[in-house]
Amino acid sequence: MAGSMFEKLPWCKSVNVESRDNDTNEERDPETQPWVTPPPPPPSVRPKRPRSERREWNLSPAPGDDPGQRLRGSFYILAKAIRKDNWKKFGRCLQLEENDIVMTELDDDFYEMMLRWQSREGYKASVNTLLETLDDLCLSDAAERVSSILLQRGLFQLGAEGSSEQAAPPSPSYSH
């Protein structure tokens, strides 16, 4: 049935596309011409700079509130300091899953992305990690602005040499 259908189509009788396609394939040099054009490399995050070229951030939560709350207080500051077109790169650099990375340009969505990161990291979550990540993305100016604002607002203070900041993961919210 299919054969008779193709016989009725005028272009199927006059042109044998498959044979010309095979001729072209046989002329192709497999060493120099790939079968398929390779896709361009994915837009990736810039490679990390060597540790020796990066600034070491040493902020610790100011006394008072829960350290996790202090860290969450930095999320909107980060959202304002980082250009929105860098939010996805920032999330990827923090090794967030693609479905956890913010896809909109709303500050609240960035905040939610950071909450997911904080929840995943637990007590290892640190504002210093966030500032280092900005440095890794060559966004040192943004890191400096964020650090300055956090210090001015009293959320964080300069830590003692060798101190490490620990922030509690966000508390689960229960809806009744």
Q: What is the pTM of this model?
A: 0.62
Most confident of 12-16, 101-105, 140-144: 140-144
Q: pLDDT, tens digit, for every residue of 116-154?
A: 999 999 999 999 999 999 999 999 999 999 999 999 999
With cut-offs at 50, 70 and 90, classify the pLDDT of residue 176.
very low
The pLDDT assigned to 168 comes to 45
How much is the average pLDDT of 31-48?
51
Can you list the pairs that 87-93 forms with residues at least 24 positions away whose Cβ atoms lie under 8 Å? Answer: 87/113, 89/45, 89/137, 90/133, 90/134, 90/137, 91/117, 92/45, 93/45, 93/133, 93/136, 93/137
User: Domain segments of the chain: what residues?
Assistant: 57-158
* CATH architecture classification, 57-158: Orthogonal Bundle (1.10)
